[in-house]
């Protein structure tokens, strides 16, 4: 299967991440925890991030897969 992992960083430190397998945001700092709580309760933000798996990942899988195989 395909898994989307999307991290946001501030000052080179990850503070929040989204994992499509979990289906929600996870905070790693105090600020990230507050954002994760807010974003996970906002159906629009959560749905938009969940949609990236279909919109970007699955749409581009064949291109990325063949590029990787061509390098091995």
Please list, in sequence order, all residues whose beta carbon lies within 8 angstroms of the beta carbon of residue 12, skipping any fewer than 6 positions away. none
What pLDDT does residue 32 have?
95
Going along the chain from its start, the domains and CATH numbers come out as 5-70 (3.10.320.10)
Integer-rounded Cα radius of gyration of the chain: 14
What pLDDT does residue 41 have?
97
**Contact present, 16 and 32 (Cβ < 8 Å):** yes
What pLDDT does residue 63 have?
73
Q: Is 13 left (phi over 0), alpha (psi -120 to 50) or beta?
A: beta
Please list, in sequence order, all residues whose beta carbon lies within 8 angstroms of the beta carbon of residue 58, skipping any fewer than 6 positions away. 2
What pLDDT does residue 71 have?
65
What does each of the 72 residues of the chain score in pLDDT, given as a tens digit? 778 888 889 888 899 999 989 999 999 999 999 999 999 999 999 999 988 887 877 777 777 777 777 765
């Amino acid at each position: 299967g395909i898994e989307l992992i999307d991290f946001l960083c501030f000052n080179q430190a990850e503070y929040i991440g989204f994992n499509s397998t979990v289906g929600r945001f996870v905070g790693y700092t105090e600020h990230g925890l507050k954002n994760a709580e807010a974003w996970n309760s906002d159906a629009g933000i959560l749905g938009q991030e969940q949609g990236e798996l279909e919109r970007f990942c699955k749409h581009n899988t064949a291109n990325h897969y063949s590029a990787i195989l061509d390098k091995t």
